[in-house]
Structure formats: C-alpha cells, structure tokens
A and B are shown apart, each in its own frame.
Chain A
C-alpha cells in the first residue's frame, strides 16, 4: 500500500514536473516576443509586465490544449487577444472620461538625426505604429518585427492568407507615409488613415 501510494505520488509529480518543464520552455522561448507584441500593439508601458504575466497564466491554464509545435503561435494569439482587450478597455475609459475620441496622434517628434538613439527609435516606431489601424498594425508587427510567415499570421490572427497579404501592403504604405512625414508634419493633421 505504501509502495502504491508513493508510486502514484511520484507519477503525479512526474506529470507536474513535465508540465513545468514545458511551461518554462514556452516561457523562455516566447516571453520576449509576447512582450514586444503587447508593447507594439498598444499596451501601455505601465501595464506591460502584468499583461505578459497574464498571457503566460492563460498559457499555463491551457497548456494541455496546446498542440505540440504550436506553442509560439498560441502565445502570439493570446498576446494579440489580450492587447485587443486592453485597447478596447482603454478606449472605453477615454470615452467615458472625455466623451470624445482621444487625440491619439503625436505632434511633431524629434528630428531624423535623433533616430540614432536606438531607444528613441524604438519609441518612435511605437508611436508610428500607434497611428495605424489595429488590424493593419497586427499584421505589420507580426510580419516585419516578429518575422512570422504569412500562413502563421493567418493562423494567429484568424484571417485568410490573402487578407494578410492585402493588410500587409496597406500597412506598409501607411508606415512609409508616417515615417516620411515624421518630424515634419504633425501626424494628427493628416486626419488618420
């Protein structure tokens, strides 16, 4: 009886250990990507840590449902979904407090010379991306920054590959227009997309 109990316990602990190994591996493999995606998709800096934690808590809860080999896509999917929720919530808060759409576009930024500073570049990139429509931004971030393939993006976002391609084309032209005008024109003056 003693042996049986210990055997059962050890079996259960092996399963727990195997789950923990898998979760840790997923975390090590994709927490940076999740963080970047959340940041580029509009999660405010002060909520980023919690957002990443939330993404991996969900991953931990759904660990048994994740198809082997699709872990990274799963994490991207959760991050994307979470970023949408955060944006929606933030939008509602803004509407509730001000009763109008926020002036989301930044005024004239630093000159192109200032782009030498990498940190500043990253910040400018975030600001430029914030001027894009969310669907375009998601595809652009996943393709250009995260380096996902088209079919992977289609899978993560849940749209056909053709739509991914057309959104990417539009996103690129918007990105180029924003970058070209950056520092010379207040982006808000363009009236959005």
Chain B
C-alpha cells in the first residue's frame, strides 16, 4: 500500500496548514520535563550521555555497560597495585552500613554525572534546607575530578564545610536536589536489596531534612513500598491514606494502590 501524502506537504488550505503547523510546533513547557525527570530518578543521568548515542537500542546501553566494566577492571588494577593500606581503606568503606554512604560503584559510573545546572537551578528550592555534609562530601570528592568547568565554577561558590549562608543560592539548590535524589536512590537501593528497614530509615532522614522537598511525593511512594515489603499492613494503609490526601492527583496513585 502506498503511503498517502500528508496534508501539510500537499493539499492543505492555508487555514488547515496554519492549524496543523501550530499543532506540530507545540511543545511542553520546561517544568514538565524537570518534574518527570526527577520523578523517574534520572536527574543524575546526563542528557548528553543519553542522547549522544545514535538510534535507541540496548546495544548502546550494552556498550556503555562494557565501558563501565573496563573502567572497573582498571580501577581494580589500581587498587591491587596500591597495596594493603589502600585495600584496608576500601574494606572500611565497603563495610560501612550507613545508607547515606555513596552507592557502590558510583564513583566509576560515567552516567551518574553531575546533573546539568539548568535542570537543577530551575527546580524549586526546598524549604528549611540544611546542608547534607555527611551524605554528599564523599560523593563530591569522587565526582569532583570529572566535573565540567561550569560545574567547577559553581562548586567554587558552594559552601564546603563552612556554615551555610542565610540566603539560598542556585548552587545550594542544586546541592539540595542532589542530596534529595541521592537519599531516594539509597532508599531504592535498600529496597531492591531486600532491606526495607534501612530504606525506611533513609526515608525518615529525607522527611526530616526536606519536609517540603521537591521529591516528597516520590519519597512517600517509596515509604509505602518499604512498609509493604516489611509486611506492616497497618502502617502501609495509614501511609497510603496520607498519600492520597496529600497528593490526590498523583501519577503514582494507581501503582501504589495496586501494589505493582
């Protein structure tokens, strides 16, 4: 069967053309993109890494995975070469039970790059932000060497171990969102490892630090999932009711109710 010609290419009246042209040109606002990316937990996946690859296929993903594997091998060679002291250091790191410690392998994962500044700075700042020194410092250390010049310049303005300034600035916002995403990533990781108690601990930490955080909806979803994994039906139902009350039109409602 031959493909018909589109109205826009041939045969449309000026009015039809104007309508169709306008419909084709319409784009969603940037807010939608930011919200969806945060909700999908993709803030750390650099868009360039995602779009640099040509046609969508798992082959590309597999290629990325292969590169990461090579990086892992190189890392281990280095680790072995440095001797027992370094190994002991690694051991103490890997033995850490702190859920807020960097995710295993995060330091070598190219795609978990610093989130682009435009995405970060546009996300509404959380109320009552506090600097999350303990959670992010080690991550910052590992990521520092790969940061772009722009990211480096922002880092220069980011308060390090000194007390946080009174007025929140763009880098602070970025940092806050990074912290929030990191906390939720940790909670997800604990959940996937079958440790809902630890996930709940991390989520409590999130709630305490960011009561009005931009990802509080996603945190509530994770909390419900953790309670479900724990088998605490009563708490789960209470949390579910609270969730429905606070986010009556959430895109997650169906999923959390069905328990998928």
Give the A-binding residues of B (Cβ under 8 A): 1, 3-4, 6-8, 13, 15-16, 18-28, 31-33, 35-37, 39-42, 44-45, 47, 49-51, 53, 55-62, 64-65, 68-69, 72, 76, 87, 90-91, 94, 103-106, 108-112, 249-252, 254-255, 260
Contacts and interface: CB of A to CB of B under 8 A. Distances in A.
Nearest to B56: A71
Give the residue among A53, A69, A172 with the most B Cβ atoms within 10 A.
Answer: A53
Contact of B57 (A61, A68, A176): A68
A84 interface: no
Contacts, number: 199
A182 to B, nearest CB: 8
Nearest to B46: A24
Interface of A: 2-3, 5-7, 9-15, 17-29, 31-32, 35-36, 39-40, 47-54, 56-57, 60-61, 68-69, 71-72, 112, 115-116, 118-122, 124-126, 128, 143-145, 147, 149-150, 161-162, 165, 168, 172, 175-176, 179, 182
A56 B62 contact: no
A115 B6 contact: no
Q: Which 4 A-B pairs have the closest CB atoms?
A: A121-B22, A13-B105, A9-B104, A24-B50
Give the residue among B3, B21, B69, B251 with the most A Cβ atoms within 10 A.
Answer: B251
Nearest to B69: A14
A21 B56 contact: no
Contacts of A115: 15, 18-19
B65 to A, nearest CB: 4
Given A50-B250, A68-B59, A150-B3, A175 B16 contact: yes
